[in-house]
Amino acid sequence: MDFYGHQDSARKRTGWLVVLYGLAVVGIALALYIVVRMVFGGSEAGEPVPDFWQPELFFGVTVGVVAVVLAGSLFKTAQLSGGGPAVARSLGGRPVLPNTTDPDERRLLNVVEEMALAAGVSVPQVYMLDAEDGINAFAAGFSTRDAIIGVTRGCVRQLTRDELQGVIAHEFSHIVNGDMRLNIRLIGVLFGILMITVIGQIIFRTTQFSGGGGRSRDNKRGGNPLPLLGLAMIIIGYIGVFFANLIKSAVSRQREFLADASAVQYTRNPSGIAGALKRIGGFAAGAKVRNAHASEASHLFFGDAIGSSLMSLFATHPPLKERIRRLDPASNPQIAAWAASAPSAGAAPAAVSGFAAGRSAGAGTVDLAAAQSLLATVPKALREAARDPVAARTLIYALLRAARSDVRARQDQAMLSLDPQAESRLAALAAATVSLPAALRLPLAELAIPTLKILPRADYQVFRRVMQIMTEADDQIDLFEYALQHLIVRHVEPAFGKVSAAPIRYRTVDQVLPACRTVMTALAAWGTESREAAAAAFEEGMRTLEGQSPAYDAARTSLGDVDLALNTLSEASPQVKKKVIEACTRCVLADGQTAPNEADLLRAIADAMDVPMPPVAAG
């Protein structure tokens, strides 16, 4: 799948939705203006009848409608400012503990870890909707930083591992393709339009039994027009919600087809996701979600959470039969081709070699077999440590311990004074991580991210402080330490505060060339042994961006400069990011091999730009 193309498409859909919802708001304002003129537009006896069209009044009504819709949307968006976790909690979800002993939950977490590693994104938190017996799942969040996967209890109980894998792959497609941010915005906009109805209900209920209080067509009879206005607002608001839901449903249905196809490409197993859809069709509870907020979040789910109505006008998902038919290799040649390309069990070691070759696949490319094999090489004790709150912190400390004994002694002293709980696990984890291959260091740290997200705030602050002290103990920060801190802070920090998506400020490569030169200089300088090799690598990367390469500056770029450059690149458009990642990859591969520090920095660069990239190792 074309990751960058889908990212652009998602943003274009957002633009079209803004236009369509803007037209809906104008339509609501026009309808309400007509009602106001009919209710309040009468004249006293002997007075001339005013013109029906009054631009000043229409402008005032429009401003009022926009203000109400905007206020409602901002209110709802503020409620969801916690990102994916806030959405999951609103639907009745609870976090699945990384060290859970429940067999269904353990299997689910294993599948999520495999898919995250294969997709090249951070492992998301997983939420369980215990009260829901239907077979369903969803992804939510503003970006990969706060993304979560939510799964109903019925989903983990009713599906086989292959079927569950297909469902999770479908949800990862929404994460990778940038659909989640649009989904949260849809919830906010729909709530804003619904506020017209809510205000109408308030007006109707508070004024229907009161007398006077407003001008009417027949002032002598003292009629109160406000209840009529409130009733009209209720009706108009519901009509607005009706059309807003039509827009939401039309957009969502097409995205579901794309996510189904992506799931097959990810897993190379069309029978997995097709089997899950068939089980929904044959299961009494289907994909039903009974939570009160299911309707406003219906477009997030894997299956139709609320049931279709009005000849499927409101259905946010295509018919089950059509989805299954499109996944059938007999009727879809592209699905057949993807399934035929599935690697055999015996090919798994080669796939792992591909992961470790330093030749990162294009963004959005997924090799699930390679991810499974790579995870299988992580010692069991280390995987279990990544799932325990105390052991996960100690695991990160162990990865940061220096080779020099004097530096290591200073690190241990600071660590044990600030976080004494780590002492009981340190010796064993330090011994296990010393022999850990470089290819597994960052993937292992990323397995610990969901665990670190559930730490109490005070414990997390201590952990941050210890991590900073350990990286600065030798008065320098190497690229692994930089990449490790970058990944942890970027993905764990949102769990302790509000999150928002980075805006797009740069749409051409020329606008970000200084930042590109900084990043390329760092990759070239830290990934080669000689100035000549560094210059060649730099020129290879920059030639991809500029057509010609500027002179290589031998002065070493600081990691602070790299940080500033990555902040700039994070605000580039998807197509600019595509060119930057291609240039970085060419720079890394200029000498035909990948140094460990190059691999670590390349992973951090991709993550900073929210570009999925599977693990890249030395080779």
Where in the sequence numbering do the catalytic residues fall? 171
* DSSP assignment string, 492-542: HGGGGS---PPPP-B-SGGGGHHHHHHHHHHHHHHH-SSHHHHHHHHHHHH
Q: Nearest Cα to 367, choosing from 330, 397, 341, 331?
A: 341
Q: What is the DSSP letter of 149?
A: E
* DSSP assignment string, 452-492: HHTS-HHHHHHHHHHHHHHHHTTS---HHHHHHHHHHHHHH
Distances (CA, A) of 64 to 26, 32, 265, 345, 578: 11, 10, 48, 63, 43
Task: Name the β-bridge partners of 301.
Answer: 138
* DSSP assignment string, 334-378: HHHHHHHTPPPGGGHHHHHHHHHTS-PPPTT---HHHHHHHHHTS
* DSSP assignment string, 278-324: HHHHHSTTTT---STTTTTTGGGBSS-SS---TTTTT-SS--HHHHH
Q: b/e map of 310-333 (b: 16 or more CB within 10 Å)?
A: eeeebbbbbebeebbebbebeebe
Q: How far apart are CA 368 and CA 169, in angstroms?
A: 10
Q: Nearest Cα to 478, choosing from 559, 595, 380?
A: 559
Q: How far apart are CA 274 and CA 195, in angstroms?
A: 39
Torsion angle, CA of 44/45/51/56, rounded to 10 degrees?
-10
Q: How far apart are CA 29 and CA 63, in angstroms?
A: 8
Q: How far apart are CA 13 and CA 254, in angstroms?
A: 11
Q: How far apart are CA 438 and CA 351, in angstroms?
A: 17
The residue count for the chain: 619
Residue pair 122/146 in contact by the 8 Å Cβ criterion: no
